[in-house]
Amino acid sequence: MKKKEDKRKEIDFLAPDLGRVQELSCHGYEKLRVGSRISRLRQSGAQRGRPILGVVKNNLGGEASEGTPAAQVS
């Protein structure tokens, strides 16, 4: 389990990018290996970095997106 300060660092890292996002896609990972899902996303043209491709817990992503256009998704 992540410590509170680690969660805050992740939220602070994500928030600026979510504020600039022009396109956002969210996917469920239930019973699916993350590596498999990321491989599929990369095959469709997604990239890591800018644009961002990553895995974020729902509650951290929701908090990081507050006050941004991405908040509509959460």
Task: Mark residue 48 as left, alpha or beta (left: phi above 0; alpha: psi -120 to 50; beta: remaining).
Answer: beta
In angstroms, the CA 45 to CA 32 distance is 20
Report the mean per-residue pLDDT for the chain. Answer: 76
Structure confidence at residue 23 (pLDDT): 75
23-55 pLDDT, tens per residue?
777 766 666 666 666 677 667 666 555 555 566
**Among 50, 52, 8, 49, CA closest to 26:** 52
Residue % of the chain over a pLDDT of 70: 62
**Among 18, 12, 6, 11, CA closest to 50:** 18
Domain count along the chain: 1
pTM equals: 0.59
Range of the domain at 65: 4-72
Structure confidence at residue 43 (pLDDT): 72
Structure confidence at residue 51 (pLDDT): 52
